[in-house]
Structure formats: structure tokens, C-alpha cells
Amino acid sequence: MSYTLPILDLARLDAGVSERDAFLAELRTVARETGFFYLVGHGIPASQIAGVQALARHFFALPAEAKRAVAMVNSPHFRGYTEAGQEITRGRADWREQFDIGAERAARPREPGLPAWTRLQGPNQWPAALPGLRVGLLAWQEAVTDVGIRLLQAFALALGQEADAFAPIYAGAPNQHIKIIRYPGREATGDNQGVGAHKDSGFLTLLVQDGVGGLEVEDADGRWIAVAPVEGAFVVNVGELLELASNGYLRATIHRVVTPDAGRDRLSIAFFLGARHDATVPLLALPAALAEQARGAASDPENPLFREVGRNYLKGRLRSHPDVAAAHYADLLIAEARAA
């Protein structure tokens, strides 16, 4: 079943008071009812989008040895290359190969008593065989962060807050996470799970798709709705931080990716904007009319949400990358096993 997501034009924010207010009202409605939308008017040129897609293709075309040289298992910061079938969602393998980076920051010293999430900060790994990848992805990170923060400010306004309401928990060191992803065709996979059903943990996700479909969103009736690619547009979805901050007025939406048909592959570039690892998500004082409609944050006993950002993010990383967890967080796994 095909489904046309709403298309929102970010340029309307600067098109006068009436256009801005109309945009904010539409943003609030779409984010609450669907949780996913297309974003145009974002200001990133088509040439830059095409350039980062080409870089991703070049990376995935590298010999296996060159990609394995920057395997994520080498990094306690969960940066680097993951082969298809090595990431786990809800206990099952995701059939996608990917390369993850974050902000280029120095690793924090390992000192007794520090929270385990402090190990998440650190440098990226970069393939020696493709030096242009570093330049291109860091430029992309900067450009899409600017769009994400502008959109986050719009969300704050739409919720009746000051534009910089979220700045205290992201300013200085936002969690910037890029994942370039290739989904191989069905003939090369274990099953049709490109990535299993999940919610995103940050504020917002901004996704660039190629022309091959596969992204599906779960609607209110539990049906899976295919999201067609739209050239030049980001697919944007609400993450769990906005769900927590709005007391469930906004709800992070479950989504998945289905493996492409045999003989085809799918390329996507995902950017996840989150808060600082040391932050605690506030509970916003919503206007009365909105507060009455807040549903409370969703609660899954098998995947509880924590307001402590670093704790919440590390929990997800450990579950999805058990090889990295075993290599660099064995002390946590041992402590968890003893407590069970």
C-alpha cells in the first residue's frame, strides 16, 4: 500500500508571520498524527545531496578488506563499518551494511566512577582508501545539523515554547550521528528485514533516500504504509526525546525497512540529531490546550525510556551491536548478568 506523507516547506518559517504560524500549526498536527513527513525548502542544494550519495556508493564499492579495516568493533564509541547481518533490532539481524560517524571529539579519559555513557564520545574511524569520505561526511554533518536545529526550534514554537527551549540540552555538544546505509537485494540476505521495527531515540531523524523504496511506517491501526522516495526532500520523523519532552503529545513512530527485491539494492543516508550525552530531558510546560491532549510517553517494559540521555543512548547501542558491547563494555554485561 502506497502512502503520501505530508510535505512541509521549511522556507515558510521566514515568509511572514501568517505563513510562519500556518507552518507551525501544520507541523504540530503532522508530527502528532503521523510522526513522519517530507521536508523541502531546507536550503541544502541538490548538488550536495548527490555528492554525499556518490561518496556513500564509493565507500560501499570498496573491497571488503578496506571496509573491515574500519570495523565498528574496533571502536568503543560505536563508529565505523558494520557488515550486513551484524546489527540487531529486536533480537533479529538487520540485512544492511553501514558506516557510522558522529561528531569529531576527543575521547574522555576512563576514570573510576564516571558513567559508562562517557565512553561514547570519541573520534571517528576513516577508511584510508577513500580520504574524501571524511571531508564530505563532516560537511554533510554540519549542513544537516543546521537544518535539524532550525526544525527543532520550529517544534519548540509549535509546542508553545521559546524557540531555544531545547538549547540547554543540546548546545555545545549535540549528538550528531550519521549512518550511510546500503541494503542488498533479497538474493543476498537472510530474510526481508532490512532493519526491524523500531523508534528513533533522538530529537529528529532526517533521511535521504535514493529511488528504491523500502521504508515503511506503522499507522494508528497497525498497518505498514510504504513511504515513496521524493527527490530533493528529507524524510523527517520524531524521536523519543521529543516524545519524552512533550509528555507524549508528540509520539515517536515505529518504522522499518524491507529488503529490496532481488537484483536491486537501496542506499539511504540517515542523520540523527540528539541531545548532549550529559543532559536530562525536561518535561515541557505545554499550553493547557496541548497539555490536555498529552498521552504520556509510551512505556515498553522490554525497552524502557530514560530521561538521562547518555544512559538511554548507550542502552540502544549495546543492544544493537553486541559485538562492540562484548569487546568494550564487558564490565557492564557482567554486572547486568550478576544483577539478573
- Of the chain, the percentage scoring pLDDT greater than 70 comes to 96
User: Residue 338: its pLDDT value, please?
Assistant: 65
User: Residue 339: its pLDDT value, please?
Assistant: 59
Name the β-bridge partners of 39.
8, 234
What average pLDDT does this structure show over 251-255?
A: 92
- CA dist 280 and 306 (Å) reads 9
Asked if residues 104 and 166 have their Cβ atoms less than 8 Å apart, the reply is no
Measured on CA atoms in the order 140, 142, 148, 150, is the torsion positive or negative?
negative
User: Residue 153: its pLDDT value, please?
Assistant: 98
Residues 290-332: tens digit of each pLDDT: 999 998 887 666 777 889 999 999 999 999 999 999 999 998 8
Residue 335 has pLDDT above 80, yes or no: no
What average pLDDT does this structure show over 56-83?
A: 98
User: Residue 304: its pLDDT value, please?
Assistant: 77
9 membership: H or E segment, kind and range = strand 7-9
Asked if residues 340 and 332 have their Cβ atoms less than 8 Å apart, the reply is no
| Confidence label for 130 from pLDDT (cuts 50, 70 and 90) | very high
What is the identity of the amino acid at 298? Answer: A
Q: What is the DSSP string of 319-339?
A: HH-HHHHHHH-HHHHHHHHHH
Task: Identify the DSSP state of 261.
Answer: P
Burial class (CB in 10 A: 0-12, 13-18, 19+), 259: buried
- CA dist 142 and 271 (Å) reads 11
What average pLDDT does this structure show over 104-109?
A: 93
The structural domains of the chain, with segments of one domain joined by +, span: 2-339
At 232, is the secondary structure helix, strand, or coil?
A: coil
- CA dist 40 and 9 (Å) reads 5
User: Residue 299: its pLDDT value, please?
Assistant: 65
CA 308 to chain centre: 18
The CATH architecture one would assign to domain 2-339 is Sandwich (2.60)
Residues 163-184: tens digit of each pLDDT: 999 999 999 999 999 999 999 9
Average pLDDT across the chain, whole number: 93
User: Residue 145: its pLDDT value, please?
Assistant: 98
End-to-end CA distance of the chain: 43
